[in-house]
Amino acid sequence: MPVALKVPSVGESITEVEIGEWLKGEGAFAAADEPVVVIETEKATLEVPAPVSGKVTQVLKKTGEKAAVGDIIGYMEESAAPVKEEASKESEPKSERPPSPEPAPAVQQPPAEPPAAAAKPPTRPVKPPESSAEPLTAPPEHKPEPASRAAIVSPQAAPAPDRGENIVPMSPIRRRIAERLVESHRNAALLTTFNEVDMSAVSSLRAEHGDAFREKYGSKLGLMSFFVKAAVGALKEIPQINAEIRGENIVYKDYYDIGIAIGGGKGLVVPILRNAERLSPADIERQIADFAQRARDNLLRVEELQGGTFTISNGGIYGSLLSTPIVNPPQSGVLGLHAIEDRPVVRKGRIVVRPMMYVALTYDHRIVDGREAVTFLKRIKESIEDPARMILEV
């Protein structure tokens, strides 16, 4: 009896999906719960598992086509796993083939005699016998044009390079990213403020305790755990940046769901660290590493990408020195991190070289004033330059 493959529910407010790659085509066997087809939504890419063990008998929706939640996109026939036939070479009858005849030797043709008329003329003109007749005059030599001049005179000498175009439709995730970025610029009053942070203390901590941290917790001691903890502390002090405008009201959040921008296989995604104020540095690092791996494999769940009260985006991993990040609506702020570079700075009247990072805060000026934004970045700077502040919460 045919078993229908249906588009599952993939989250609130999502009613339509796009069919991605069929991992099991018609005639292919799939075990129960084995991924059969990939579907793409505006927020995530998901794999639809096989409801039973059996063979895919029909594909109704091809890659790139749209389907609604609940639509039947294919059928399977329930059956046991096919048994692989292992043919034994000894049991197979050997077919007797007559030996191939040896190829006849090639007959060499004697070289053709050149015709008398084709005799090679003398390379130099023969000097005529002395007489009162006029000597023969050779025609003037023709000198070839220089290469550069010939190229100018004959522009078609070099063929033009191939100038093709490759038109690819935008994926649902990329379309949604574009919509939200345009929405952010259109509906919010965005402004960016900057500061710079001395990363010496954090770099020393990572160098001193990184190996022990990895051995104990199974993950590296990265930068993000420091900035997440610093951001939570700053958001507690400046609650406007952890708030959103809802209609004519301002909604202040007393929880801290921090989005971490990650470049995934289908584009930029922002999975959420729920209740980041309760997470230890090890919890933060493990969750971010897991998010990054599943983003590359397009395995993030829709619910992991929804919500969020504040976002951190680290363009420094790609080498960005300075940028203005864009707020993810309806949030009111986003913190941009950048590359760490050794730069000369003044400390106690002396010029020294320190590992420095520019940080940027883009905020919605409708709800956050400049004083609050500058204070927020100042708190981030103080926490990173003196990590003991985060431990002691001072």
Burial call 279-298: b when 16+ CB within 10 Å, e when fewer? bebbbbbbbbeebbebbeeb
At 308, list the tokens.
């969020």
At 19, list the tokens.
């069919």
Contacts of 188 (CB under 8 A, 6+ apart): 327, 329, 364, 365, 366
Distance (Å, whole) CA 70 – CA 14:
12
Distance (Å, whole) CA 184 – CA 179:
9
User: Which residues have a catalytic role annotated?
Assistant: 365, 369
At 334, list the tokens.
């986003």
Distances (CA, A) of 228 to 88, 245, 259, 272: 62, 23, 10, 12
Contacts of 323 (CB under 8 A, 6+ apart): 315, 336, 338, 360
CB 46 within 8 A of CB 27: no
Where helices occur in the chain by DSSP H, the ranges are 147-153, 172-187, 200-217, 224-237, 281-296, 370-385, 388-392
In this structure, are strands 333-347 and 310-314 parallel, antiparallel, or unpaired?
parallel
Q: What is the 3-state secondary structure (H, E, C) of 22-80?
A: ECCCCCCEECCCCEEEEEECCCCEEEEECCCCEEEEEECCCCCCEEECCCEEEEEEECC
The conformation of residue 364, written as its DSSP 8-state character, comes to: E
Which of 132, 129, 17 has its CA nearest to residue 63? 17
With H, G, I as helix, E, B as strand and everything else as coil, classify residue 315.
helix
Kindly provide the residue ranges of all beta strands, DSSP E only, lying in 288-379, ordered along the sequence. Answer: 310-314, 333-347, 350-364
